[in-house]
Structure 1
Amino acid sequence: MTIAPGSKLPAPPATLWEGGPEKQVTFPSSGKFIIIGVPGAFTPPCSSQVPGYIANYPQFAAKGVKDIYVIAVNDVFVTKAWKESLGKDSPVHFCADSTGEFVKSLGLEFDASGLLGNIRSKRFAAIVEDGVVKKVFVEDEPPNITVTAAEKVLEEL
């Protein structure tokens, strides 16, 4: 079942990491934050989408967003290197869902074995407030960046 507005956000699994395997991700229990799901770090569409969130971070913060989490079904070393290549000093969190367990708990996985070798995240954006999903945007095709573009999500806040 796919998350929808009004759904409680599932707790992140122990294998959702940021920066290293010893750094488990926890989401804020209060306040507003955004989760961005991407099919793969370093892929051309993902590497063109995420900089919009980095560049517009101050505008998101001005609208009450405390944190932005980019989730990729990659290992933690790849997501760390990806952050370093896109915005090393950015406050945007780059998180590794190495087994896809988190995106599966959201119902937002797809089989990308033909191109990327395994199950990956659909391209999505979710606005979460106080642990409850307020809005979810999912692209109809993984390479598309329309409803999940940073500027579009900003308009929805």
Structure 2
Amino acid sequence: MAIAVGSKLPAPPASLWENAPENSVTFPETGKIILLGVPGAFTPPCSSQIPEYIARYQEFADKGVAGIYVIAVNDIFCVKAWKEALAGGKDSQVHFCADSTGEYIKTLGLDFDASGLLGNHRSKRFAAVVENGEVKSLFVESEAPEITVTKAETVLGGL
């Protein structure tokens, strides 16, 4: 069953990593965060969507967002390289998280079968605004390559 507005955000598993396998991701229990699910690091749509979140991070922070977490169903080394490519080699305030087995995305109920193009189940393209552990807004694209309701501008406008 997929998360929905009003759902409590499930805690991430120890296998959701940032930067290295020993760095498990945890989300703050208080405050406002944004989770972004993307089908795959280095895919053209994902690589065009995320730079806007990086560029507009301060605008999100000004609206009370304490963190933006991009989750890709890829291995940690791929996700780290993607972060470095998108952030221009600089450290980014946007967190890039690897869900290598898709365990967390499946827990959220936001996975889909992308085996025809990407080889396995991947994340639907989504944006969730979470406040104090509760999903306040959830935007899910009807087709994985689309970037309409999950655009940084759209999500920012809804805060």
Q: TM-score normalised to the size of structure 1?
A: 0.99
Shift of 1:110: 0.2
Q: Secondary structure at the match of 2:92?
A: coil
State which of 132, 140, 145 in structure 2 corresponds to 1:138. 140
Measured on the aligned residues, the alpha-carbon RMSD in Å equals: 0.5
Q: Does 1:3 align with 2:3?
A: yes
Matched pairs, number: 157
**1:38 partnered with 2:35:** no
Give the share of equivalent positions with the same residue, in percent. 73
Q: Which residue of 2 aligns with 1:80?
A: 80
| 1:124-152 Cα deviation digits (max 9, x unpaired) | 00000000000000000000000000000
Task: Note the alpha carbon deviations across 1:70-126, whole angstroms, 9 max, x for none.
Answer: 000000000000000001321000000000000101100000000000000000000
Secondary structure in 2 aligned to 1:23? strand
Report the equivalent of 2:57. 57
Gaps of 5+ in 1: none
Three-state SS of the structure 2 residue aligned to 1:67 is: strand
Name structure 2 gaps, 5 residues minimum. Answer: none
**Partner SS state of residue 52, structure 2:** helix
Distance 2:3 2:108 in 1: 5
| 1:47 and 2:47 correspond | yes
Superposition deviation, residue 14 in structure 1: 1.0
